[in-house]
Structure 1
């Protein structure tokens, strides 16, 4: 029996019809020359061969008696006719039709009585420039089962480096499957785990308290220092410096509202090599470049709508805590906050602001990681957290926001990949929005492109294509910024 860790289970307990908690991606594929038939059949055959190596696709949830604690994972073989679905688009359909399909499907909850994933194959797309047939694939994986890095590890099992699927090494012989656990066994095991978790939590408290005290002291020192600088600047008749830290609340925007069971989605495939050259010329990381692109797009979009706040937008930035080589299908991630400097009109000054904010965030990550437990006692949480999620939806618009949106950057492969003989052309992520944070921008590198997926509450941001257009335009501005430096 393996009970879900606390962090994984949060994505189950907080899920509502308005807040589906699955992640995924929209992929475009080019079929081999002369391909005949329906690619969905080739995909099902391929998945059947790879399922023994993909544990995250071969398990489902089982609730404990009275649902008093986190559920467990139990083995379950997926029915590929149910988990891999075919959709026929209109003749010569393209990205706008695919975006609409993803927006509609992303609102649908994954059934919890089956493995928590689903693949959707779309046929009917306009052919590629070379005349070859194209298909699209939209994947859904529940966040309780994988985080961004775990999804990348799963992709490494399913995808190949050549059109010809590779032979995987033989698996060790599987032991006898244990008999089904009775209710008494489940209760005993769960209570034993809870006792161990309370013990581990109590044992770690002194160290965590010391770290928290140090962080609080550092934050207080930063605040006092910033205040002193502000007072001195005013005495000299100068403008007070703005803090890069996380002590400021975010301004209220159209993104800081309760979400509804609607979604809008857009994808971009941006040229990676010019961005890499520009960020190197600026002495910056690719992540700094991504944050600047998002900042510039958001600033221009909100300015055009007459909604640009005087205070800078604050982004929640997921940070992986996964050790190198760890491919477990679970969540190992924490969250930090970062100012996007959207109040700064000058592109170069805004970039310096983002670099400073990013550096400040990275400096505190070591201590922050030690404070974030991946597992914790869960008695009562399956009852309490759904109520909390519902209550939060009622007050999210009234509580001052801490952040405005989520921006996530996941490293990806730099070589072309294949699935069931088809070459992957693009890979746009589709992530999660929640009450109070109705916009998520996720990027992933693939081959020679930066793949961008923008997803939002459909009522908060129905015109998400306009934001995507601004992000595409920001690439040329970034290259010009590097040329002028």
Structure 2
């Protein structure tokens, strides 16, 4: 059975995972049932999805370890898919409120995926008072990042109410229900050969990349006559920020538990774009300003607002346009979100300055950051480090570089349909971590920005309140900027 080995970046999400820190990402798809629909939408969706499962290759692969876990694991084909495990249904009890739905999502998202199977699971949720249904879909981050997730969406959704024709799966890819497969037996000789070969390839890649990295660094330190080299200016910015990039202590800087809280909220994309245009900012800067306003109010009311501004970890996609490979291509930056500034318009100006400097730092040295790594025993050693870090409670004591994760994922601008049902909203569900117990991810869909706030339940038990403040902060910022 042929293996497709994970890169160091992809495999790191496996090593970071503990019972307290599941490393899957998920989404909520709200939909309206097709007009006149009768019967079980779960069974209807199951038949629809089963006919398209083969178009998402990663959904038919499972993990296989290397010899003695000396190197990164690989993906291998799973011959039989147990759809009773991967596709499930649940119904909300009366009255079927949004708060009840968010409670269910918090519980589902706290459960780790079974590593003996393909790393994904879907739930059809019905019983909402407004008659809508919800698809909760989670996939392990080792298999997919936000950009590649959009490629999966292309296989799941249609742009018309009538699903498009999809070529049937080859006979060997037909799915059914079987017992979980036994762990793969790895040939020790072949396993050892592969491990040594991979280590050698990694070393060769480093040597091959050295001239390009050196060239990038040299160009960064060269300048036109009368101008400062880009890297020197960047380093000056970084040095000037060092005293402030020690994040202040907040309730979010804590060792997290196995429990999750969740909230989904929506604001207008058109209003947000108008704020960006009027202020000369990027859409992501406006999102950061909205989050900064909500976090300021939330912490202020609890008497826990620091004098220093909170710092957000902001993921940056390294994916080139048109690249639909289902792997992780991400980096990140740290940005102050001006929670110490009361005026919404002034807060946006401060964030614009901080984010511009952070992007410059990330961009200057982007090509010098390796996107893969390998060393003997990585699966065991890195997993051990994460277990010790979580069990020791060091996140409660050590200084942290950030307080919260804030991520912005562009989504489809046109209406979508899933199994003939009209999609009304797409909300992300993401990953909190030790020391950053709150993750705010936003995805655009048509004329909406859909927020998903995922948190540790102990650190942020009232995440719905913070979600309400996000909506109010957006309105305050629109008014303060004075958009047309």
**TM superposition score normalised by structure 1:** 0.89
SS in 1 for 2:52: helix
Could you tell me which of 254, 258, 280 is aligned with 2:255? 258
Query: 2:345–2:481: 8 Å Cα contact kept in structure 1?
Result: no
In the alignment, the residues of structure 1 paired with residue 76 and residue 235 of structure 2 have an alpha-carbon distance, to the nearest angstrom, of: 47
TM-superposed CA distance for 1:193, in Å, is 1.6
Aligned to 2:453: 454
Query: 1:53–1:157: 8 Å Cα contact kept in structure 2?
Result: yes
Q: Cα gap change, 1:205/1:199 in structure 2, threshold over 3 Å: closer, same or farther?
A: same
Query: 1:201–1:376: 8 Å Cα contact kept in structure 2?
Result: no
Query: 1:198–1:376: 8 Å Cα contact kept in structure 2?
Result: no
Aligned to 2:191: 186
The farther-off stretch of 277-286 and 453-462 is 277-286
Aligned to 1:126: 129
Unpaired runs of at least 5, structure 2: 174-183, 222-229
TM-superposed CA distance for 1:41, in Å, is 1.0
Unpaired runs of at least 5, structure 1: 128-132, 227-242
SS in 2 for 1:125: coil
Deviations 1:189-229 (A, max 9, x none): 232122111221244346546739968854553367x5xxx
Aligned to 1:87: 90
TM-superposed CA distance for 1:89, in Å, is 1.4
TM-superposed CA distance for 1:408, in Å, is 0.3
Query: 2:268–2:447: 8 Å Cα contact kept in structure 1?
Result: yes
In the alignment, the residues of structure 2 paired with residue 379 and residue 205 of structure 1 have an alpha-carbon distance, to the nearest angstrom, of: 22
TM-superposed CA distance for 1:173, in Å, is 11
Aligned to 2:300: 303
In the alignment, the residues of structure 2 paired with residue 483 and residue 247 of structure 1 have an alpha-carbon distance, to the nearest angstrom, of: 31
Deviations 1:274-332 (A, max 9, x none): 22223222222211110110000001111111111011100000000001100011000
Aligned to 1:22: 24
Deviations 1:403-430 (A, max 9, x none): 0010000000011111111111111101
TM-superposed CA distance for 1:90, in Å, is 1.1
Aligned to 1:229: none
Query: 2:30–2:423: 8 Å Cα contact kept in structure 1?
Result: yes
Query: 2:106–2:260: 8 Å Cα contact kept in structure 1?
Result: yes
Deviations 1:382-438 (A, max 9, x none): 111111112222211111110001000000001111111111111110101111110
Aligned to 1:231: none
Aligned to 2:176: none
Could you tell me which of 288, 301, 325 is aligned with 1:328? 325
SS in 2 for 1:90: coil
Aligned to 1:151: 149
State whether structure 2 residue 386 is matched by structure 1 residue 384. Answer: no
In the alignment, the residues of structure 1 paired with residue 198 and residue 482 of structure 2 have an alpha-carbon distance, to the nearest angstrom, of: 58
Query: 2:56–2:155: 8 Å Cα contact kept in structure 1?
Result: yes
Q: Cα gap change, 1:350/1:30 in structure 2, threshold over 3 Å: closer, same or farther?
A: same
In the alignment, the residues of structure 1 paired with residue 185 and residue 138 of structure 2 have an alpha-carbon distance, to the nearest angstrom, of: 29
**TM superposition score normalised by structure 2:** 0.90
TM-superposed CA distance for 1:246, in Å, is 8.3
Query: 1:279–1:482: 8 Å Cα contact kept in structure 2?
Result: no
SS in 1 for 2:315: strand
Query: 1:413–1:447: 8 Å Cα contact kept in structure 2?
Result: yes
